[in-house]
Amino acid sequence: MHFNGYHHITNTVTGGRTDVEFHSGLLGLRNVKRTVLLDGKRPFYHLYYGNQYGEPGTLVTSFAFGEDRPLGRQGSGQVRSIAMSVPQDSLGYWSDRLASRGVAYEEFELLGERRIRLHHPDGIEYQLVGVAVDERLPWTGADVPPAAGIRGVHSVMVVTREVDELDMFLKEGMGLVHRDSDGSVSSYSMANGRVGQLVEFDHQPDEPQGSWGYMRNTVDHVAFDIGDSTAQLAFKDRLEAMGFIDVTDPRDRNYFYSCYFRTPAGAMFEATWSHPLGFLKDEELDSLGSSLQLPSWLESQHEGFLAELEPLD
C-alpha cells in the first residue's frame, strides 16, 4: 500500500468570490467545480481549483462559510502552509506579478529549494516552490503564461509539538520515507518521492494548539490519493490494527470517496480515490466550474441553494 501523491487540500475561508479571485485571478488555477459542503443542512460553497481536468494532485479546495463560522486559532496540529509547484525559472515572473498587484510576498529558501511566501485574503499561507522537473500540465486558460503556470501541489507543512510518535505513524502507518531536514523542518516522501509526493513537518515544541473544526483562516484537511477502494479499506484496517481508531468509514463525496483520519500531530488527513469520471460526471470539460453542481440527493434543492449562496460571477 502506498499513496500516489496528493488528491486535494481543503481550506476554510470567508468569501467565495474573494476565494475565486485569489485562486483563479491571482494564481491562475482553473475553477473546476462549484458545489456545496455535503455535511450539515445549510448550503455553503465547496469550490475546487486545479488544472484543465481538475486532476488529483493539482487540486486546492475551499469551504466558504461567509462569517457563519468563527476565526480559527493557528498553531500546532495544523497545516501551516500550502506549497504549489512552479518552474524554477518562473519565480521572477511570480515576484513581478505579485508586486504589480500589491500582494505582499517574501522570497526565501528551504530544503534546498527557492520559494515565495504569500497569503490568501483570509491569512492562510501559500508558497510557490521552484522545481526543475514537474510533468503535470498547468491550466492554460488564465493570464499566466504556460511556462510559468502552477503545476500542482508541491507539499504541505504541518506544525507539530511532538515528533517520535508522528515519525512512527508516517513510516509504519502511511508508508512514507524520511527524505531530508532543514533546521526544525523535516520532509517525508510518498511513493518515488517526485514533486507532489512530499509532506513537510515543522517541529515547534512550544507552539500552542491550533483550532480544529470548521474555523475560518485555517486548512481543514489534506487528502492523499490512495488509488481505489481496496487500498482505501486496507489502509483503514492498517491504522486500526495499530491502535489509531480515529478513522472514518469511506464516505461518498460525489466526485470521490473519502476516509478521514487524525495524525498524532492533530492534523486531519484523508485517504481518497476518485470517481471514474471525476469532475466530468456532471459537466462537460469546456464548462467545468461554470455553474453550481449538486449530487443527486440534493438536486431538488438547487434553486433554494442558489438563493442563499453568494453570487460568484
Residue 34: phi and psi, rounded to 5, are: -120, 110
151 domain residue, yes or no? yes
C-alpha cell at position 151: 503545476
Longest C-alpha distance within the chain, in Å?
54
210 domain residue, yes or no? yes
Q: What is the pTM of this model?
A: 0.96
Q: Residue 127: give its domain's CATH number.
A: 3.10.180.10
1 domain residue, yes or no? no
Determine the pLDDT at residue 191: 81
Determine the pLDDT at residue 1: 59
313 domain residue, yes or no? no
Tens digits of pLDDT across the chain (313 residues): 589 999 999 999 999 999 999 999 999 999 999 999 999 889 999 999 999 999 999 999 999 999 989 999 999 999 999 999 999 999 999 999 999 999 999 999 999 999 999 999 999 999 999 999 999 999 999 999 999 999 999 999 999 999 999 999 999 999 999 999 999 999 999 987 888 999 999 999 999 999 988 999 999 999 999 999 999 999 999 999 999 999 999 999 999 999 999 999 999 999 999 999 999 999 999 999 999 999 999 999 999 999 999 999 8
76 domain residue, yes or no? yes
114 domain residue, yes or no? yes
Instruction: Give Cα 51 to chain centroid, integer Å.
Output: 13
Residue indicated by cell numbers 499561507: 125
Count of domains for the chain: 1
Taking residue 196's Cβ as centre, other Cβ atoms within 10 Å add up to 25
69 in Cβ contact with 212 (< 8 Å): no
Boundaries of domain holding 299: 6-308
295 in Cβ contact with 282 (< 8 Å): no
263 domain residue, yes or no? yes
Alpha-carbon radius of gyration of the chain: 18
Residue 198: phi and psi, rounded to 5, are: -115, 140
291 in Cβ contact with 282 (< 8 Å): no
C-alpha cell at position 3: 499513496
- Residue 246's alpha-carbon distances to 103, 142, 193, 231, 239, in angstroms, are 39, 41, 27, 18, 9
12 domain residue, yes or no? yes
- Residue 105's alpha-carbon distances to 66, 87, 166, 252, in angstroms, are 26, 18, 31, 38
